[in-house]
């Protein structure tokens, strides 16, 4: 699959502070790409550079293998983290204006907007001023103006912040819908649950550097902890003795005959060896490998990065 967007060695500095330090990314076409990182890591700086709101100090961005230029603005839809609309302007008029700024013809924009307003069942708002709408209503309008020009690349910065659960779900479904129709979605978020649910690929940025990227599946696999959780009924002592050298007992719980234990596999052993050795000792109810959630990986990686960072600061 080819990449819709590639960032190569992006550096962005503000006076005394480096926002992005040699960050490279590849976003495959027709995928959902999660840009993750703690607050102030540089996500918004990178997104603003992709939107050509600011420029990088060095490095290059390619859109469909072409150097990013103002004409690509029309292929990108952007929902910023800090978002809003002209409060005194009418909804329809405003949507038309923003569509035209994205290069759409007026008649075409009207048609598209009609489609979306019907889909979200908000036709009645066309002549209302934005300030007359509730917050949830404004968010729907905001989402429509982001996607109405059918961008090839949709950039959503914290799309679920400020959306109520119903609208958040609506947006989630639309994201998957748009992906099905061929769009690529880049979104930055703190919500790790939605990352597992939606993303194909991610990149993790911390302290202006990319510290991790790849497909969600691969990343979770790489970050396996070699922990296996076994539920069984029988004697905990007998169970512990049967482990041999294949594993070490970690946390465990028992309630009479019913027990649950986490086993850390010793390096070199396989789960099959462990399973066959405990089979004879107790009655197994379940046997599963614990795969870390994206949330755990995020906390672990950012935590590592920060401790290294503070150390190096300290030695300086």
Partner 1 sequence: MNKILLIIKREYLSRVKKKSFILMTIIGPVLMVGIMIVPIWLSMQKTEKQKVEVVDESFLFTGLIPEKESVHFDYPPITLDQARKGFFDTDYNAILWIPKNVLNGGQKGIKLLYKKQLSNTAQQHIQYSISKMLYEVMLAENHVNIDFIKDAKDKSEFSMLTMQVDEEGNDKKTNTGLYMGIGLVAAIMIYFFIFMYGVQVMRGVMEEKTSRIVEVILSSVKPFQLMMGKIIGVALVGLTQFLLWVILSTTLYSFASATILRSIDIKQNVAKEEVIKIGENLDQTKMGKNEDPNEMTQLWNDFKSVDMVSITLCFLFYFLAGYLMYSALFAAIGAAVDSEADTNQFMLPITVPLIFSFGIAQTVMQDPEGSLAFWFSMIPLTSPVVMMVRLPFGVPAWEIIVSMSLLVLGFLFTTWLAARIYRTGILMYGKKVTWKELGKWLFYKG
3-state secondary structure of 76: strand
Question: Distance between CA 42 and CA 11 in Å, rounded?
Answer: 10
Tell me if 150 contacts partner 1 by CB under 8 A: no
Answer for which of 38, 80, 214, 234 binds partner 1 (CB under 8 A) is 80
27 or 212: whose CB is closer to partner 1? 27
Tell me if 316 contacts partner 1 by CB under 8 A: no
Answer for which of 26, 30, 38, 86 binds partner 1 (CB under 8 A) is 86
184 Cα distance to chain centroid = 13
Q: Is 90 exposed, middle or buried (0-12, 13-18, 19+ CB in 10 A)?
A: middle
Site for partner 1 in 37-56 (CB under 8 A): 48, 51-55
Tell me if 87 contacts partner 1 by CB under 8 A: yes
Smallest separation, CB 15 to partner 1 (Å):
5
Q: Binding mask 9-28 vs partner 1 (x if CB under 8 A, - otherwise)?
A: -----xx-------------
Residues whose CB is less than 8 angstroms from the CB of residue 102 and which lie 6 or more positions away in sequence, other chains included = 73, 74, 77, 148, 149
Tell me if 145 contacts partner 1 by CB under 8 A: yes
Half-sphere exposure at residue 51, Cβ-oriented, CA atoms within 13 angstroms: 18
Question: Distance between CA 218 and CA 258 in Å, rounded?
Answer: 34
Answer for which of 38, 73, 150, 235 binds partner 1 (CB under 8 A) is 73
Q: Binding mask 222-261 vs partner 1 (x if CB under 8 A, - otherwise)?
A: ----------------------------------------
* Contact in structure between 152 and 75 (CB atoms under 8 Å): yes
Q: Summarize as ranges the residues that interact with partner 1 (CB under 8 A).
A: 14-15, 48, 51-55, 57, 70, 73, 76, 78-80, 82-89, 97-98, 100-103, 142, 145-146
């Amino acid at each position: 699959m080819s990449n819709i967007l590639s960032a190569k060695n992006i550096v962005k500095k503000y006076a005394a502070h480096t926002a992005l330090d040699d960050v490279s990314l590849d976003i495959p076409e027709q995928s959902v790409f999660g840009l993750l990182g703690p607050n102030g890591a540089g996500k918004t700086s990178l997104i603003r550079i992709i939107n050509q709101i600011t420029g990088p100090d060095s490095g290059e961005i390619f859109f469909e293998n072409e150097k990013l230029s103002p004409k690509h603005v029309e292929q990108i839809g952007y929902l910023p983290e800090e978002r809003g609309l002209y409060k005194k302007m009418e909804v329809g008029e405003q949507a038309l204006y923003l569509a035209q700024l994205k290069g759409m013809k007026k008649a075409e924009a009207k048609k598209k907007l009609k489609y979306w307003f019907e889909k979200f069942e908000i036709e009645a708002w066309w002549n209302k001023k934005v300030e007359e709408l509730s917050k949830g209503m404004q968010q729907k309008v905001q989402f429509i103006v982001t996607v109405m020009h059918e961008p090839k690349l949709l950039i959503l910065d914290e799309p679920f912040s400020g959306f109520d659960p119903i609208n958040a779900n609506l947006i989630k479904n639309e994201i998957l819908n748009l992906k099905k129709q061929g769009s690529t979605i880049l979104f930055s978020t703190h919500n790790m649950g939605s990352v597992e649910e939606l993303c194909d690929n991610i990149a993790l940025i911390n302290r202006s550097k990319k510290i991790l990227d790849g497909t969600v599946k691969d990343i979770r696999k790489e970050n396996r902890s070699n922990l296996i959780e076994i539920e069984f009924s029988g004697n905990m002592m007998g169970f512990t003795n049967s482990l041999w050298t294949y594993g070490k007992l970690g946390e465990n719980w028992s309630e009479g005959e019913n027990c649950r234990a986490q086993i850390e596999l010793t390096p070199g052993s396989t789960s099959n060896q462990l399973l066959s050795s405990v089979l004879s000792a107790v009655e197994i109810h379940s046997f599963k490998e614990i795969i870390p959630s994206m949330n755990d990986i995020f906390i672990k990686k950012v935590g590592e990065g920060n401790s290294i960072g503070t150390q190096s600061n300290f030695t300086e």
